[in-house]
Structure 1
Amino acid sequence: MAKARTHDPDFEIRFFESVLRREPAYAAVVELLGGLYTRQGRIADGLKMDRKLVRLQPDNATARYNLACSLALSKRKSDALRELRAAVKLGYTDFDWMQQDPDLDALKRHPEFQALLQTLKPQS
């Protein structure tokens, strides 16, 4: 019988950090680390990775969205809204996720966030 694997985010972080030291522009690893850091509560480190990914891929709508989430978690509402606008302009369209994403809770009552959501709302 195969041994069950346990999830060790600290191991994953150390592994991907070592990959990034060897290959600093490896965008997929930058993105993975950003998510891992954020899930581990390392918001500042996640923000750093999200900023780096946007520098590497400035036209990536998902990277902009993730940066907006990190900025919102860092209580930087106006910066988060700016990045959300950029994400939508670049093609981000996931209305349902944006509406429920807990990373954006700090923005959800903001009129500009609500207006941006309306631009994505599916027409019925």
Structure 2
Amino acid sequence: MSVSKLRYYQNYRSLRQAQGLLELISCNDDLWGLDPEIKRRLARRALAMLQGARPRGHRRAAWYYLRGRAWSMLGKYHRGIRTFRRAAKLDPHHIATYLSLAWCLKRVDRLEQSISILNHAIARAPHHPLVRYNQACYLSLAGQPQLAAMELSIALELKPDLRSKVAREADFDPIRNHPAFDAALQVVV
């Protein structure tokens, strides 16, 4: 096997292993979340795996995306933002990158930028329920109940299962008593 082929497979394996660790951290977090220290250790381990990998081509965007996820899981939101922006430049069609970037921006009190980023995501994937749901959350926090309710109703129409998250979603607290919010929840799906 040539050196370049070997390096290609090593990079691929590093990406997959880091992805697996990051999925382990976040899977079923609502039900049986991992201890925070274990999460941090796994995120640091994922970063170490990615440090040695230097993929080329389309995998470069995945490398940045996974690094961004690890940084955000460590609470290093500014690093996550920079890394997700690089991933979005390399692969402007990867919707999870926009969701993650907006999430990090929200955590550093840049809510208007979060909304703007999700507007870009909506333009690329108008039928993506999680983009619509998160946009509803951010618009609610920004004091835009009509737009938040509209996005929420679209999200619920696209994925009715999201309705179960609404009751415990603190981001909707600012608009819970608004008639538009009630109307969005009354939509029959």
Q: TM-score, normalised by structure 1?
A: 0.80
Structure showing the higher helix proportion among its residues? 2
Counterpart in 2 of 1:52? 120
CA shift, 1:91, in A, is 1.8
* Equivalent residue in structure 1 for 2:105, among 11, 33, 37: 37
Q: Is the 8 A contact 1:62 1:92 kept in 2?
A: no
Find the residue that maps to 2:160 and give its secondary structure: coil
Instruction: Give the superposed CA RMSD.
Output: 2.2
The 5-angstrom pairing of residues 4-43 of structure 1 reads 5=44, 7=74, 8-43=76-111
Runs of 4+ in 1 over 6 A off after TM superposition: none
User: Highest CA radius of gyration, 1 or 2?
Assistant: 2
**Any unmatched runs of 5+ in structure 2?**
1-40, 45-70
Task: Determine the C-alpha separation between the residues in 2 that align with 1:35 and 1:18.
Answer: 16
CA shift, 1:26, in A, is 2.5
CA shift, 1:78, in A, is 0.5
Q: Are 1:81 and 2:152 matched, yes or no? A: no
CA shift, 1:103, in A, is 1.1
Q: Which has the larger displacement, 53-62 or 15-24?
A: 15-24
Letter in 1 for 2:171: D
Aligned residues: 118
* Equivalent residue in structure 2 for 1:97, among 145, 165, 170: 165
Q: TM-score, normalised by structure 2?
A: 0.55
Percent sequence identity over aligned pairs: 26
Q: Which has the larger displacement, 4-13 or 28-37?
A: 4-13
Q: Is the 8 A contact 1:65 1:92 kept in 2?
A: no
